[in-house]
Homo-oligomer: A and B are copies of this chain.
Amino acid sequence: MKALNALAICTMLAAPSIASAQFTKPEFAIKYRQSTMFIQGQHFGRIGAVVKGTRPYNQDEVVQNAMIVEEMSKLHWPAFGPGTDQGAPTRALPAIWKEPDKFQAAGKRLQEEVQKLVATAKGGDQGQLKAAFGAVGQACDGCHEDYRKD
């Protein structure tokens, strides 16, 4: 049942629906999700610098960064498959596999907010960009609070 739930996370969340079974070792799944999260964070941080005014606004750059964040926001989930709670150092908490419905909802929320961020970036309104950036940040934090070690 637990395995089924975890599989459901993978198949329902992943926009590119590539099964977690394709990771040949749990450590690869762990490294993979750490990689996608890191890339996402780098590009999200670049939008953050614009929003905070420490980097000049350039719409093309913001759109590019938002689109890479979007791409990454789809890739994480198959890497949280059954048996990937260990195998390499990880901050992923057991709650991910204990309450898959809630974890799945948190992942969906992220993807939805990121889609709005991309649309807002393309729209070019800097005021709206700040709000959309904040909403994605809240989606990140919400998930990290419950599912990632401090």
Contact = CB atoms under 8 A, between A and B. Distances in A.
A16 interface: yes
Contact of A71 (B18, B43, B71): B71
A143 interface: no
Interface of A: 16-18, 22-24, 28, 31-32, 34-36, 38-39, 42-43, 45-46, 55, 61, 64-65, 67-68, 71, 75
Given A64-B18, A68-B16, A68-B75, A32 B28 contact: no
Contact of A35 (B24, B38, B55, B71): B38
B22 A32 contact: no
B36 A22 contact: no
Nearest to A17: B64
Q: Which 4 A-B pairs have the closest CB atoms?
A: A35-B35, A16-B64, A35-B38, A35-B39
Contacts of A75: 39, 68
15 contacts: A16-B64, A16-B67, A16-B68, A18-B43, A18-B61, A18-B64, A22-B42, A32-B38, A32-B39, A32-B42, A35-B38, A36-B39, A39-B39, A68-B75, A71-B71
A105 to B, nearest CB: 24
